[in-house]
Amino acid sequence: MKKLIFSALMLAAAFTNLKAQQDPAYSMYMFNGLFINPAYAGSKEVLNVMGIVRDQWVGIQGAPTTASIAVSSPLRQDQYALGMVITDDKIGLSNTVSVTPSFSYRLRIKQSRLCFGVQTSFSYYNQDNTNAELVATQADPVYAGNQNLFVPNFGFGIYAYGRRYFIGVSAPHLLPSSLANKTELVIGNSPEAKMYNAYVFSAGYVFGKDPAIVKFRPTIMLKWQQGLPENIPQIDISPALLFIDRVWLGVTYRTGGDYSYIGQAIIPFMQVKVTPQLEIGYSYDAELSALRHFTSGTHELMIGYDFWYDKKRFVTPRYVKYF
**What confidence tier does 19 reach under pLDDT thresholds 50, 70, 90?**
very low
Question: Residue 113 and residue 165: Cα distance in Å, rounded?
Answer: 11
- 194 within 8 A of 180, measured Cβ to Cβ: yes
Angle at 128 between CA 123 and CA 129, to 5 degrees: 135
Residue 235 — left, alpha, or beta (φ > 0 → left; ψ -120 to 50 → alpha)? Answer: beta
Average pLDDT, the chain: 82
DSSP class of 194: B
pLDDT tens readout for residues 213-224: 999 999 999 998
Lowest mean pLDDT among 111-120, 160-169, 288-297: 288-297
- Once rounded to an integer, what is the mean pLDDT over residues 311-318? 48
Question: Residue 158 and residue 268: Cα distance in Å, rounded?
Answer: 28
- Once rounded to an integer, what is the mean pLDDT over residues 200-206? 97
Residue 194 is predicted with a pLDDT of 62
> What percentage of the chain exceeds 90 in pLDDT?
55
Reply yes or no on whether the pLDDT at 226 is more than 80: no
Residue 217 is predicted with a pLDDT of 97
Residue 227 is predicted with a pLDDT of 67
- Once rounded to an integer, what is the mean pLDDT over residues 140-164? 81
**Domains observed in the chain:** 4-319 (2.40.160.40)
**What confidence tier does 127 reach under pLDDT thresholds 50, 70, 90?**
confident
**Is the pLDDT higher at 41 or at 76?**
41
**What confidence tier does 198 reach under pLDDT thresholds 50, 70, 90?**
confident
Lowest mean pLDDT among 14-23, 167-176, 223-232: 14-23
Residue 256 is predicted with a pLDDT of 79
Reply yes or no on whether the pLDDT at 12 is more than 60: no
Residue 32 is predicted with a pLDDT of 93
Which DSSP string corresponds to 154-190? EEEEEEEE-SSEEEEEEES--S--B-TTTBTTB-S--
